[in-house]
Amino acid sequence: SQELEQSPQSLIVQEGKNLTINCTSSKTLYGLYWYKQKYGEGLIFLMMLQKGGEEKSHEKITAKLDEKKQQSSLHITASQPSHAGIYLCGADKAGGTSYGKLTFGQGTILTVHP
């Protein structure tokens, strides 16, 4: 099964600073999803990456998938308090053969101080 490891586990930054969260897989990723969650609430879809070397951006958040498709990074530029939350990476649980079975990393808790 797909195992995803996120780092760091938690991150505290000052408003305006840039930051990066990493998600590493033990197997090739066939679809890598980034979600954001406020404590006790649902997951908000951010971005999905499929191709090696792919990069997507939305507002100040950029996600990349490496060429080997085993590592993804999420970069936030000029962080704001609204970026605070838990960031989760998720991937197809069995490497593309089990449609709909997502497994998640442990999450990264982001705190942004104004």
Q: Binding of other proteins at residue 104 (CB under 8 A)?
A: yes
Measured from the CB atom, is 40 or 114 closer to other proteins? 40
Q: Minimum distance between the CB of residue 16 and other proteins, rounded to whole angstroms?
A: 28
Contacts of 102 (CB under 8 A, 6+ apart): 33, 90, 91, 92, 93
Choose between 77 and 103: whose C-beta lies nearer to other proteins. Answer: 103
Part in contact with other proteins (CB under 8 A); list of ranges 20-28, 56-64, 65-73, 94-102: 94-102
* Close Cβ partners of 108 (under 8 Å, ≥ 6 residues apart): 6, 7, 8, 9, 10, 11, 21, 86, 87, 88
For residue 106, state whether it binds other proteins (rule: CB under 8 A): yes
In sequence order, what are the beta bridge partners of 29? none
CB of 5 to other proteins, least distance (A): 12
Do 18 and 75 touch, CB atoms closer than 8 A?
yes
In b/e form, how buried is each residue of 6-16, taking b as 16+ CB within 10 angstroms?
beeeebebeee
* Binding mask of the shown chain, residues 25 to 64, with x at each position contacting other proteins by CB under 8 A: ------x-x-x----xxxxxx--x-x--------------
> Residues interacting with other proteins, by CB under 8 A?
31, 33, 35, 40-45, 48, 50, 88, 93, 98-107
